[in-house]
Structure 1
Amino acid sequence: MSVRRRVGGRDVLLDCSARFVAGSLTAVVARNGAGKSVLARVLAGVDRPDAGDVRRPARSAFFLPERPPAPPGLDASRLARALAPRLAPPAARTGAASRVAPALDALSLGGPPDAPLDQLSKGSLQKAHLAVAAALRPVLVVLDEPFSGIDADALGAALDLVRGLAAGSSVVVLTAHRPVPGVDCLALTDGRLAALEPAPPAYLLDVFPSARAGAVLAAPLAAAGATVQAAAEGLLRARVPEPALPAVLRAALDAGLEVRRLVEDVDAW
């Protein structure tokens, strides 16, 4: 891909070049207004560049815009069935619709799997479309801020699903405001793409009770550059960089604190 794109009289993409290979997962990271959505639409073939070209597989791309479509009269399984002839590789067409429900279950849709798309919230709609992508296994998947409305408890599962698409040989490109932990990242700045170091993994740790947790965890967290804040229902939540995790867990357990939850921190996307 090497493209230029002008929108509203403004050059948004300038000699924007990148190469994405099968089995790769890449996050394009930029601030609001930098052109992430413009790039996503060009990459997916929804919009044409003003100059240059995008060499993509002949089969159409699966494109999830930041505001997902909600076709009336369709649920996720019916959508997968409708899209399978155009988007799914031949080997993935059979049974595509039947693979939607397990993906929705992993994402905790919060409703029946046959819920009409036009009755879902933004976050649930994003989950439904991600489940459809997982069922279809397209050659190219372009996701524009796909986790912006998803609840924190489901973000890890959503990232696992996206990683699974790449592991299955799809080319997966997503956009985000911040680096995605453990994912190859490109920065979009001044209309150009450049390599960006992926964010080091970090975790969210909830311990109980918060009154005792503050004193126990303050020192190792501060030394590791972590942040601590009060959470709901008497819990204390700490964001812990991966290198500090063993020491923090040991300090909490030695103090008799109850570890309520430990998940990868993906809430910053």
Structure 2
Amino acid sequence: MSLLWPWHFVSVSEAEKQHRRELLTLRGYYAQLYILLALVLLRLYTAFFPPDKRRRPTKGSRQKSWLDLPLFTGWFETRRQYLFCLIWLSWLLGLSVWSTGDDYLHLTKALGHVGLSQLPLQVAMSPALYITSTPRASSLVSVLTSIPQPTVTAYHRLFARVVISPLLVGHAILYCLFFLQSSHPGFSSLFAKRILDLDVQLGTAAVTMASAAMIFVRPRGATGGIWKGTVKDRRRAFFVVHLLLVGVLCLAAYFHVAQAQVFVLESVVAFLLNLGCCFMTVQ
């Protein structure tokens, strides 16, 4: 490894491996604890500063601030939403680096563990009835924070692209580099050996599904692209493909490593609660 890169391939004892596992578990707790804290703070903010109080009465149309404009023309998400997601990504990267020392594999595992810890939040922000004629039905996060679902949906899309996918892709890239640079007596490299193992194949499938789900973003209102037909047909096609990709991602992650199982089960619970919230808010 480069001398400018602070993490290196190191040999660790069984006791050190156990300590590494304990730190990974602790990272997951911290990452999800801060999610709960953020939701509580958002709920307090919306309670004391409801949207009608935050609006300034002005004559004519109100000009949006620079932060509330899209990053590029035609994009959905605003600069403010990108900023919040990048701040959250920075916090998670810092949490991943915390207490790794110079242990390359510790950092690699931490990126994947922290990334998967965000799956329940990602699911809890999704508009579960998007396939119906009521795509604005409230999600679990919308109900808990009193933030309108269109705003939450924008963060749901952006969170996958800016937060979760970079962490999981970074985890996969670092592992591949480790395998490629490590030797194996029976193969040309450790990579040639490990790519045949089921856990690595499942991890590769999970990262591939995360990247694919990131690419298949919400269909735009205009015709064209991969989504054909009426708005309802495009919405249904998108929802089915997106749900299948996320389902395969969760299934692959569940069997990839034992530490991911609790996050996948939490995501299933979040999905069921989301369905309940959506059905209640459209009655």
Instruction: Verify same fold: TM over 0.5.
Output: no
TM-score, structure 2 as length reference:
0.26
Which protein is richer in strand relative to its size? 1
Which protein is richer in helix relative to its size? 2
